[in-house]
Structure 1
Amino acid sequence: MRVMKFGGGCLGNSADLLRAAALTKGPTTVVVVSALGGVTDTLVQILDRTARRNRFPLGLFRNLSQRHRDCMQALTSRQGQTQNGFNRIDQLLKGLEQLLRGISCIGEVPPSIRARVLSYGEELSCVLMCAALETRNVPATACDARHCGITADRPGTNARIDLTRTRRKLRRNLPPLIKSGRMPVITGFFGRAPDGTTALFGRNASDYTAGAVACALDARELVIWKGVDGIMTMDPAYGGDARSIERLTWEEVKELTHFGADILHPLTLDPLENSRTRVRVRNFRKPGLAGTEISSATKDNTDKICGITCHPGSTMLQLAATPGKLHRLLARLEEIPGVPSARITSLVTARDRITLLMPSADARSVRRALAASIDPTIRLLNSRDDRTLVAVVGQALHHARGLAQLMDALATAGITLEGITPGGAAASVCLVVPGNQAGRCLQAIHKRFFPPAPPAPPCIAKGDQP
């Protein structure tokens, strides 16, 4: 059994859908799909305009509709079959339009309705993928995640998958479909909440859905197709000689994704914690490349780091407590409205002070909450915006030599180091630097631990040898 997940960056048009269909050949495969590239962003834009202006943005909706109809037209013209796919696309688009027009009348969007609207992108993509598979004479069935068994633990737009219920339902619903010779194509990103509404698992969460499906079916392999060669040693957007990583452990990937590497959803590997499923991240445009393999096995390269990532757009807040009352400070912060919901990226304590690093948008809410609080035991000492958290992950950081190399690279590049703390379970170190030094910081670390390959020696003709 093999599970394949195709992200929105892979699915842009009918040609991409046909390419994805070709990649599913081989062993028994279950497919998980995201919305077509950019569709979720478009739905968010339509939704926000509709609610804010109490007007339905007809132009945006028509462009979205036409894009999916054009894809279906290209696919059905190749397969020369019935209009079932067209009918389903039209049915979905009509349901979406009715929902949006209702929102324009009331001018507000409850979380459950927002989740329902955003789920349409995956539903449309799922129907198109089935049509693409049909062109290759592969019978396929579009499986709505809510109906086939993907169960959320709560309603809303930031739920998690209930792995116990999901495993039970998928193992009941999917095997009969597979045995009948049909390939299941499952919508990623969302599932069914306990109250029967649609629940989202966060942006880019189709990876997470694929991990849950692979776990439920005891899949031998989970292949996640992306638009890059695998998980990279650093974000190529920051320059440098970024390269794909051949092999990573579960803990290393979790650490990289937690601290900003957006190649995978941070929860993707959680369902596979104790499984034997092999996970690969591969390039959709270059299927001949092996990509990055992720496994639970430990590696021998204990003297190296595996990757560098960063979390830009952060704010560092330093708070002070009454001397000897630091433990009370943490408890009191939980009681101030607006603070517990902040996404804290890093936390460091020292004597009577605590330093928090969080996204700048959350920091603004926390500052307002602290200013409105009358608690005399908490004082905001300083706040620094435009900070970047840089995480360096690898076994080399267990040793003094690795840490010395890291510090020397920063000093040589003239990086202002404003904070340093250990990371999570995997060997990692988190650094806080000014935002305008982030690119230089990543490049300096990368150059130290991933030096450019030496140039190949010149080729000497046999007759020229002495």
Structure 2
Amino acid sequence: MSASLLVMKFGGTNMQDARAIRHSASLVGRSLKEGVRVVVVVSAMAGVTNQLLQLADAAQAGDIARANDEIAVMRTRHFTAAQELGAVPDSETVRELREMHETLRQAVYGVYLLRELTPRSRDLIVAFGERLSAPLMRLALEQQDIRAHHLTGGEAGILTDSHFGNAKPLPSAYERVRDRLSAVLSTGVTPVVAGFMGETEKGALTTLGRGGTDYSATIIGKALGADEVWAWKDVDGVMSADPRVVKDALNIELLSYGEVMELAYFGAKVLHPLAVTPLQESGIPLRLKNSSDPDFPGTLVQSHPRDDAGHPVKAVTAIRNVSLINVSGAGVLGIPEVLASVFDAIARENITLLMVSQSSSMSNVSLAVQSVDAERTLSALRAGVSSELKVDEQPGTAVLAIVGSGMRGQRGVSARMFTALADHDVNILMISQGSSELNVSVAIEGGHVDEATRAVHAAFGLGSAAQEAVGAAEPFSG
């Protein structure tokens, strides 16, 4: 029987400086010492992805001086980390970092000259964050006498479609990843893969969407048949609510794939929404762990949810900065082709819908979208649907969702949520519930989102005070 295999993903805070990278490398070393093979997948240093997006926008706007200043700041940060990790001035790591920063500078200058930032060039620029952190992780591993080799997502075999900015892996990607990384592992070398990216069949670099390093890790996990995928974070795992908003939020020990996808989709910044999809077919568990407390089990995500009738809701989560787009016109939406035209217009612009609601008279459809997508949504609908229809926006809203597999068939869950909101004078603008009964979501005024989150969290007894009152739940072992 072959040795156990883990895929370990390290997020931005776990890669933010030399100290954090050294600690992350030590977590890899712990498992290697136990005879477990590890594939490492790394994010960009904390803040670098946003920095890259901003400097690309600055170059497009003609502010090349600002873009170059940002590149210089990033260059200093990466070189400082390399030096603190033990790189000497003319070492392979330093040469690589120097070459990559020069390539980045040239790519940004091209955007400046053309005053055009295409999705393809944006992907090329934004992926430098992960490409620059991978050599630093390899260096940190080598400093701990661990043989390592770093690769881009494309070099690791992640083949994607050409949807720049939000690419999806092609079916053939899994075999390619298995072949390429198995070859590295078979020589006793630990692969370090730059997350968040892949490449098209023609070799163009693509990215998998924000948070896509999680996705990279689970694609690799499925391809290699890993025992588990571990996503190292700076929190204990998935919480019952945002702990910055709800002080007594608790760690959730066990979630199903479906539950964690709903949480990720509805704003819980724990995972890329599609991250668990590669694991579902093969049933590979995903574990979210805190790098500051590596012995804490964290949150385990697996096929089957825990049957917990006492707590039908696992978590409350919210998406801020939402706009409601209303499409109305007496009786017109009773015509199926018109309804189809609404969704066709949205699909052509690749806009993510957070919620959809239709009135029973079929004279009104309401769509919830991120506010940053509102202008595009309005333009797409006004161009793509009948002129008889009125399209308007209600900005300044938020979506609040409760998630839990225990809601299936249990009466009174929605009523408890609505009562908690009514008791705190929170007005509900729109309601949606999926037929899977994994979530109930409502649109509310944005200014009430924190108060609403706390009220609903308390109503379902999810906080530490409520848990203590009913006695601690038995820990999951598996």
The alignment's TM-score, normalised by the length of structure 1, stands at: 0.91
**Alignment size in residue pairs:** 453
User: How do residues 419-430 of structure 1 correspond to structure 2 at under 5 angstroms?
Assistant: 419-423=430-434, 425-430=436-441
**8 A contact 1:392–1:428 mirrored in 2:** yes
* Equivalent in 53, 56, 64 of residue 55 of structure 1: 64
Match of 2:211 in 1: 204
The percent of aligned pairs where both chains have the same amino acid is 27
Q: CA RMSD in A?
A: 2.3
Equivalent-residue separation in structure 1 for 2:239 and 2:220 (angstroms): 25
Residues 16-63 of structure 1 show CA distances to partners (whole Å, capped at 9, x for unaligned) of: 111000001221000000111111111112211122115243322111
Alignment partner of 2:299 out of 263, 285, 292: 292
Letter in 1 for 2:277: D
The CA deviation string for residues 84-142 of structure 1, in whole angstroms up to 9 with x for no partner, is 21122112122222222333333222322221111111111000000000011000001
Partner letter of residue 107 of structure 1?
R
- Counterpart among 124, 137, 149 of residue 132 in structure 2: 124
Residue 327 to residue 8, structure 1, CA distance change in 2 (3 Å): same
Is the Cα–Cα contact under 8 Å of residues 48 and 74 in structure 2 kept in the other structure? yes
Counterpart pick for 1:392 among 389, 398, 402: 402
Instruction: Tell me how far apart the structure 1 counterparts of residues 468 and 245 of structure 2 sit (CA, whole Å).
Output: 26
- 1:29-178 aligned at under 5 Å gives the runs 29-53=38-62, 55-56=64-65, 57-76=67-86, 83-162=91-170, 164-178=171-185
Contact 1:155 1:195 in 2 (8 A): no
2: CA distance between counterparts of 1:456 and 1:224? 29
Instruction: Structure 2: give runs of 5+ residues left out of the alignment.
Output: 470-478
1:320: how far off?
2.4
- Residue among 438, 449, 454 paired with 1:438: 449
Q: Partner residue of 1:462?
A: none
How big is the shift at 1:425? 2.9
Bigger shift: 334-343 or 108-117? 334-343
Q: What is the alpha-carbon distance in structure 2 between the residues aligned to residue 93 and residue 251 of structure 1?
A: 40
Specify which of 15, 22, 25 is matched with residue 26 of structure 2: 22
Kindly indicate whether the alpha-carbon contact (under 8 Å) linking 1:259 and 1:309 is maintained by their aligned counterparts in 2: yes
Q: Is the 8 A contact 1:338 1:369 kept in 2?
A: no
Contact conserved, 1:397 with 1:429, CA < 8 A, in 2?
A: no
Residues in 2 aligned to 1:64 and 1:153: alpha-carbon distance in whole angstroms:
30
Distance 2:193 2:336 in 1: 47
Report the Cα distance in structure 1 between the residues aligned to 2:346 and 2:400, rounded to whole angstroms: 29
Q: Is the 8 A contact 1:316 1:356 kept in 2?
A: yes
Question: Structure 2: how far apart are the matches of 1:340 and 1:156?
Answer: 13
Mapped contact 1:396–1:402 kept (Cα < 8 A): no
Counterpart of 1:461?
none
The 1:431–1:139 alpha-carbon spacing in structure 2 relative to 1, beyond 3 Å, is same
Deviation at 1:260, TM superposition (A): 1.2
Distance change >3 Å, CA 113–CA 407, structure 1 → 2: closer
Cα separation, partners in 2 of 1:81 and 1:183, compared to 1, 3 Å? farther
1:141–1:184 CA contact under 8 A, matched in 2 = yes
- In 2, the alpha carbon distance for the partners of 1:62 and 1:336 equals 42
Q: Which residue of 2 aligns with 1:360?
A: 371
Deviations 1:211-230 (A, max 9, x none): 10000000001100111111
Compute the displacement of 1:345 (Å): 1.1
Whole-angstrom CA distance in 1 between matches of 2:101 and 2:381: 46
1:189 corresponds to 2:196: yes
> Which aligned pairs between 1:165-314 and structure 2 lie closer than 5 A?
165-304=172-311, 305-314=313-322
Whether the 8 Å contact between 1:388 and 1:434 is mirrored in structure 2 is yes
CA distance in 2, matches of 1:5, 1:151: 19
Give 2:21's aligned amino acid: L
Q: Which residue of 1 aligns with 2:465?
A: 453
In the TM superposition, residue 366 of structure 1 has moved relative to its aligned partner by 3.3
Structure 1 CA distance, aligned partners of 2:467 and 2:259? 30
Change (3 A) 1:455 1:179: closer
8 A Cα contact 2:168 2:208, kept in partner: yes
Structure 1 stretches of 4+ with a deviation exceeding 6 A read: 454-457
In 2, Cα distance between equivalents of 1:93 and 1:372: 42
CA distance in 2, matches of 1:428, 1:102: 46
State the one-letter code of the partner of 2:93.
G
Query: What is the TM-score normalised by the length of structure 2?
Result: 0.89
2:421 maps to which residue?
410
In 2 relative to 1, CA 360–455 (structure 1 residues): closer, same or farther, beyond 3 Å?
closer
Could you list the per-position Cα deviations for residues 190-234 of structure 1 after superposition, in whole angstroms to 9, with x for gaps in the alignment?
111123211111112000000100000000011001111111101
Is the CA contact (8 Å cut-off) linking 2:349 and 2:376 kept in structure 1?
no
Return the alpha-carbon distance in structure 1 between the equivalents of residues 383 and 40 of structure 2.
50
Of 347, 353, 378 in structure 1, the residue corresponding to residue 356 of structure 2 is 347
SS in 1 for 2:288: strand
Single out whichever of 120-129 and 88-97 deviates more from structure 2: 88-97
1:339 and 1:276 map into 2 onto residues whose CA distance is 33
The 1-side partners of 2:385 and 2:238 are apart by 47
Residue 160 of structure 1: how far off its partner (Å) = 0.9
- In structure 1, the residue matched to 2:473 is none
Could you say what secondary structure the match of 1:47 adopts? Answer: helix
TM-aligned CA distance change 1:100 to 1:340, over 3 Å: closer
Counterpart of 1:375? 386
Q: Determine which structure has more spread, i.e. the larger CA radius of gyration.
A: 1
Relative to structure 1, the CA distance from residue 442 to residue 8 in structure 2 (aligned partners, 3 Å threshold; closer, same or farther) is same
Q: SS of the counterpart of 2:366? A: strand
